Structure 1
Amino acid sequence: MSILCPGTCSELSTDNINILRSVGIRTVVDFLAHSPDQIANKCSFSHTVVSAIRRALLAQHASLVVSGSNIYHQVSQKLTILHTGIQSIDNLLSGGLLSTELTELAGASAAGKTQLCLAVAARTSLVPKHCVLYISTGADFSSERLRELMILSGSPQKNLSEALEQVKCIHAFDVFRLLEVLHNLPALIHNDSVFYAHLKLVIVDSIAAVIAPIIGGKQIEGHGLMMQVARKLKEIVVEENIAALVTNRVVQSDRNSIKPALGASWLHVPHTRILLTNQREDGTDHSILIRKATIIKSIRQPINLTTRFVLPGN
């Protein structure tokens, strides 16, 4: 709490401060809490003197007033929407993945989580100065599949090498390596590296592979490590203005249905959760694998929105 001191303005002299203190007005808050009329009557000050002191105190101690439209304009200029390369998924997400947000893809084995991650990486890297860091916790990353998806996106052959250079894959086979990568990431973004300076998307495929083995039972340290990963991921996406995409397994729920793994503590971490399932439909000549994506959590959209899609090349 700031005490009234001489020097803030010419009207706030030592004599005037003593007069104010004699009537119980000792701090900036005390002064501003009284109306100008009350101070003028109690201290026998002119309204001109009171108004001058009030303006000086507000200029020095009050926060700047910013309109909601200015805040919206500043935020919207910084946000980036990353298209996934699959139109129905983009429509489901109102355009695509949003920077400053963490999106989770949950599904059973072969539900298309890794393939969708590769599709997003391929589509993002085709945009100039849009780099992707792919953190693989298993052996699922395929550069050949990534190249195939770029070709299917309509990329000219001469642009493929440039796009491939905008994707970097790092393997993290345990939670400690994952934490190390995430911890070093902000420093890499702010150094002179061209790749990290243009980083737009971080993919972790899969988060459950390194977290699930260390939680549950008597492994009390596992929960703390999981929260460290969660905190670091959300810190990176917000402070560095990038998007994050992670994959998760599913487990059986009490109601005989499936739900994302990692328990209630992880529930608050993703801004958006998408559940992937398979639906096989018979075509004329062959069977086509149709996949279904359902939003089960979102901070921007209604839940239970659903779309069906086919992965490129399937």
Structure 2
Amino acid sequence: MLTLFVSGAGWIEHEKDIDDMVVLREGICPGLNKDLIEALRNVDIRTVEELVSANLEELAQKCSVSYKALIAVRRVLLAQHAAFPVSCADMYEELLSSTAILSTGSHGLDKLLDSGLYTGEITELTGGPGSGKTQVCFSTAVHISCQLKQSVIYIDTNGGMSANRLLQMLQAKASTMEEQMAALQRIQVFRVFDVFSLLTCLQNIRIGGVQMECVGCSVKALILDSVSAVLSNMLGGKQNEGMSLMMQVAGELKTISKDLNVAVLVTNHATRDGSGQLKAGLGQSWSHVPRTRVLLQQVERPGSSSSLRVATLTKSSRQSCQLEEEFDLRCWGAPEDMKAGSSGKRKLEGGSPGVG
């Protein structure tokens, strides 16, 4: 199927599959007779795609055929073989209306993320051991499940997931056993310990092979803790297969976020560059995968709490990089942390109904 969109400059091709191109032949369109087909072939126009993408004024002169006839043929071909055209402005409005922002539960982190996690995008948390990446993932999953009433897919690759810990966190947020169990059902956990199992899991999610137990709750978040745990040992040197697998993982995550309208949160380890500065792992190729990247570090100063963290925005398309916010892991979801808002997009607030 050929998909075209219209803009002020004319027809713009959006998607195509070269194996599915329709060859021009008699019978597929009124007015497309044998003589016209032969004339088009003489100037190397053999498929529907080539005809609808051509400059018809020039084509009419080259083929010595009627410009109006070509216009009529193209109009019919577009109706039969292309998606309904929409303007770029309409596409943008549709994007705004379909995008949701999920609060993480932390006012500081939400502020850094410009209100929270965006559906259709990949957000990355990076940091060294003990920086709080897994704790942030736990807290975010609990907040989305318990407060926002949305389902979460949690992929654990390093064995850090604990059902008891999740239950303890939910008990602090939900007063009744029924509410706690309902929130637990909205978090579906997958444990994978190698990149091949991870790819299989992601592919099943993408094709709809994963069904959430809690009926009526849409999956709005996918949390992967951590992506580097299954990829780091396969990269470096001449291990070309590792790079290929990493790009496959990236492709699956991007497709899930876009096609399923899901907010994807992944964690990555941190390394130090030549000057001793912390930087995200997995190299330059992976750096293009997340839309937003946040570096987590433990606050180290006299008298500071061991649960205090500083988050630094190192990559963003919406805010200035190097912005910093401090937050306390023990105060996640406190009332003073629930102030984040948004404009133009749907903000999922605590207690709001599920969004499909």
TM-score tier by shorter-chain length is 0.7 to 0.9
Answering whether residue 234 of structure 2 is matched by residue 210 of structure 1, we say no
* Aligned CA distance change for structure 1 residues 175 and 288 (closer, same or farther; 3 Å): closer
Q: 2:174 aligns with which of 139, 145, 155?
A: 155
What's 2:76 paired with?
Answer: 60
Aligned residues: 296
SS in 1 for 2:299: strand
More helix by share: 1
Counterpart-to-counterpart distance in 2, 1:192 and 1:105: 25
Counterpart-to-counterpart distance in 2, 1:271 and 1:291: 22
Q: 2:56 aligns with which of 12, 18, 32?
A: 32
Is contact 2:182–2:214 with CA below 8 Å preserved after alignment?
Answer: no
Q: 2:326 aligns with which of 295, 308, 312?
A: 308
* Aligned CA distance change for structure 1 residues 214 and 77 (closer, same or farther; 3 Å): same
Is contact 1:131–1:166 with CA below 8 Å preserved after alignment?
Answer: yes
Question: Identity of paired residues, percent?
Answer: 33
Counterpart-to-counterpart distance in 1, 2:208 and 2:32: 53
Matches within 5 A, 1:87-236: 87-127=107-147, 130-152=150-172, 154-157=173-176, 158-188=178-208, 198-236=218-256
Counterpart-to-counterpart distance in 2, 1:173 and 1:236: 20
Shift of 1:127: 4.7
For 1:233, the aligned partner's letter is L
Shift of 1:201: 1.3
* Aligned CA distance change for structure 1 residues 192 and 144 (closer, same or farther; 3 Å): closer
SS in 2 for 1:181: helix
Counterpart-to-counterpart distance in 2, 1:195 and 1:222: 38
Is contact 1:202–1:242 with CA below 8 Å preserved after alignment?
Answer: yes
Shift of 1:293: 0.8
Is contact 1:190–1:197 with CA below 8 Å preserved after alignment?
Answer: no
Q: Higher Cα Rg: structure 1 or 2?
A: 1
* Aligned CA distance change for structure 1 residues 161 and 71 (closer, same or farther; 3 Å): same
SS in 1 for 2:330: coil
Superposition CA RMSD, Å: 3.6
SS in 2 for 1:270: coil
Higher relative contact order (CA 8 A, sep 6+): 2
Instruction: Give per-residue Cα distances to partners, 1:140-170, cap 9 Å, x unaligned.
Output: 1122332333344x43324111101111221
Counterpart-to-counterpart distance in 1, 2:101 and 2:331: 24
Is contact 2:32–2:73 with CA below 8 Å preserved after alignment?
Answer: no
Is contact 1:251–1:261 with CA below 8 Å preserved after alignment?
Answer: yes
For 1:33, the aligned partner's letter is E
* Aligned CA distance change for structure 1 residues 252 and 288 (closer, same or farther; 3 Å): closer
What's 1:296 paired with?
Answer: 314
Answering whether residue 294 of structure 2 is matched by residue 274 of structure 1, we say yes
Is contact 1:84–1:96 with CA below 8 Å preserved after alignment?
Answer: yes
SS in 2 for 1:72: helix
Query: TM-score with structure 2 length normalisation?
Result: 0.70
For 1:298, the aligned partner's letter is S
For 1:59, the aligned partner's letter is R
* Aligned CA distance change for structure 1 residues 295 and 128 (closer, same or farther; 3 Å): closer
Is contact 1:191–1:197 with CA below 8 Å preserved after alignment?
Answer: no
Counterpart-to-counterpart distance in 1, 2:148 and 2:252: 27
Counterpart-to-counterpart distance in 2, 1:109 and 1:7: 63
Greater mean deviation of Cα atoms: 229-238 or 218-227: 218-227
Shift of 1:120: 0.7
Counterpart-to-counterpart distance in 2, 1:13 and 1:142: 66
SS in 2 for 1:301: coil
Q: 2:260 aligns with which of 228, 233, 240?
A: 240
Counterpart-to-counterpart distance in 2, 1:111 and 1:309: 12
Shift of 1:89: 0.8
SS in 1 for 2:290: coil
Instruction: Give per-residue Cα distances to partners, 1:172-198, cap 9 Å, x unaligned.
Output: 112122122112212335769656972
What's 1:81 paired with?
Answer: 101
Shift of 1:69: 3.4
Query: TM-score with structure 1 length normalisation?
Result: 0.79
What's 2:281 paired with?
Answer: 261
SS in 1 for 2:310: strand
Greater mean deviation of Cα atoms: 65-74 or 118-127: 65-74
